[in-house]
A and B are shown apart, each in its own frame.
Chain A
């Protein structure tokens, strides 16, 4: 699977018309310098050699150096990946906090106005472009809480004072024991994570609702009711727990949606993450950088899918053989 994705990425970017080097730095260098650059990147060798070398390098986590500013792609991933990581993790927290209770309510009070309202919320959070939701939240916050940070991952002071160790700004701030910096960074996380979380919560609401409705029809729920257990407890302990199992799988499968959403959220909030980098390098027409970053995203997608399968087997005894 991973091999197929890597092959697609490689050939898409190589078969394309146009020459990577002149596309990125064309106007700035003369013909000889361009040729030298091409040779240095190995672009003058046969396609198949380049392909095999690319696969070999990816195994060693070497994604090449960017053409436009000669920076190893792995360094970009190390430096900027942390911001994307905390953004997506925070978004999952928001998605669960919003999605689980609402889905449960909608499932329990099925076909009532409450259910209808929650379902409409789910549909709208899916139909509304995530960046527009982000902009609207910014407008709201600017009006209601004027001092609240609405872009970037931390204020200038914070970024300057925190010593980089792990490349994850939040962790670094925690490690240095700088309370103010941690608080500042967390504050900056709220809006972007909420925006991305809203997108994901729509999926979770729909899923939990359907599952609770399904589970309520189950024999074990009937049995629990027959034992005289109060309705609230039946929902909480019997129906809801079973409804949670598929949620893990589906959340994991939303990794593709999450990555797409993260790219857009980063642009909306000027977030210094991988999505922002990708867009910049696409605009700079840097083939190697785009190839490296997209390869990295592909690897993440595959790894997360595998992890979800394993996790699912651990949680749900029915999946195990």
Chain B
């Protein structure tokens, strides 16, 4: 981990700035998410203040910074609480798909044979399928047993990203399996499980952070899409930007801009930030792209040649 941070610090040029900007914006969202109860003036499903309904579709103003929408919600509060939902879902789905995809790829690549072939076939088929449709099918299935909460939404997204981890990890494993150090380990009598855990895992796991952050950006987009279609997180469970945008549809036809603008901007900002982090990490970790920040070496001025040589 320390080495990893060190590596990040040692990049230079574009990669460094991309990474810094991405991390900075993401951190702002994290702060908002953590401090939501204190930063947001209202609760995410609060429509009344002291028994009086909030105004419907109020213009953005001093008391409602981003206006209110057709359901009497304060949009600023919804956006703030929405960042909490977004980050929770992203974190859960990335962790879930990594936890499933990584071991699957590792075992499949190491064991080979029929298991490997069938898994590759399955995963490729899933990968070629439109990801949103896959998410729709899974949310359809999970709605019954799990309801419309954060966990159900994260699990629907998980299914989309497992094949990506699987592919990368499997391919790295297949090429690493033939390496000399694995052969040496086997010659020493290491069991297959030990080889996977001690020798292959460390080599394979390096590519995961990059896929993770890039998937996180994609997951946010898909979550919003599900919410927009009304198949994601239900409005009484948590505040979700995509759902808010679907509520803004009719208002947009009437020319009312604030219910649509702000949640959308939040989505774009967070997606861009996560993509920047992913691209930056990629250039940092991938040795082929990495440019290190080296301390410029200044040679001491060449000493005046002694006179003997001229003689």
Interface residues of A (CB under 8 A from B): 1, 4-5, 8-9, 12-13, 16-18, 23, 123-124, 127-129, 131-132, 135-136, 138-139, 142-143, 150-151, 255-257, 259-260, 263-264, 267-268, 278-279, 282-283, 285, 290, 294, 297-298, 301-302, 305
Find B144's partner among A16, A123, A278 (CB 8 Å cutoff).
Answer: A16
Instruction: State in angstroms the CA–CA spacing of A116 and B242 once bound together.
Output: 30
**By the criterion CB–CB under 8 Å, are A294 and B133 in contact?**
yes
19 A-B pairs with CB atoms under 8 Å apart are A1-B125, A1-B128, A4-B122, A8-B122, A8-B125, A8-B126, A124-B268, A128-B264, A129-B268, A131-B228, A131-B246, A135-B252, A139-B257, A143-B255, A260-B131, A279-B136, A282-B229, A283-B230, A283-B231
Once A4-B121, A143-B255, A260-B130 are accepted as A-B contacts, the answer to whether A132 and B141 lie under 8 Å apart by CB is no
Q: Which residues of A contact B268 (CB under 8 A)?
A: 124, 127-129, 132
**By the criterion CB–CB under 8 Å, are A135 and B144 in contact?**
no
**By the criterion CB–CB under 8 Å, are A17 and B145 in contact?**
yes
**By the criterion CB–CB under 8 Å, are A294 and B272 in contact?**
no
Find B225's partner among A13, A16, A138, A264 (CB 8 Å cutoff).
Answer: A264
A-B contact count (CB 8 A): 132
**By the criterion CB–CB under 8 Å, are B229 and A264 in contact?**
yes
**By the criterion CB–CB under 8 Å, are A290 and B252 in contact?**
no
Instruction: State in angstroms the CA–CA spacing of A23 and B141 once bound together.
Output: 11
**By the criterion CB–CB under 8 Å, are A132 and B129 in contact?**
no
Find B264's partner among A13, A16, A132, A256 (CB 8 Å cutoff).
Answer: A132
CB proximity of A7 to chain B, nearest CB, Å: 9
Interface residues of B (CB under 8 A from A): 121-122, 125-126, 128-133, 136-141, 143-145, 217, 221, 224-225, 228-231, 242, 245-246, 248-249, 252-255, 257, 260-261, 264, 267-268, 271-272, 275
CB proximity of B166 to chain A, nearest CB, Å: 15
Q: Which residues of A contact B221 (CB under 8 A)?
A: 127, 129
**By the criterion CB–CB under 8 Å, are A135 and B129 in contact?**
no
Q: Which residues of A contact B228 (CB under 8 A)?
A: 129, 131, 264, 267
**By the criterion CB–CB under 8 Å, are B133 and A297 in contact?**
yes
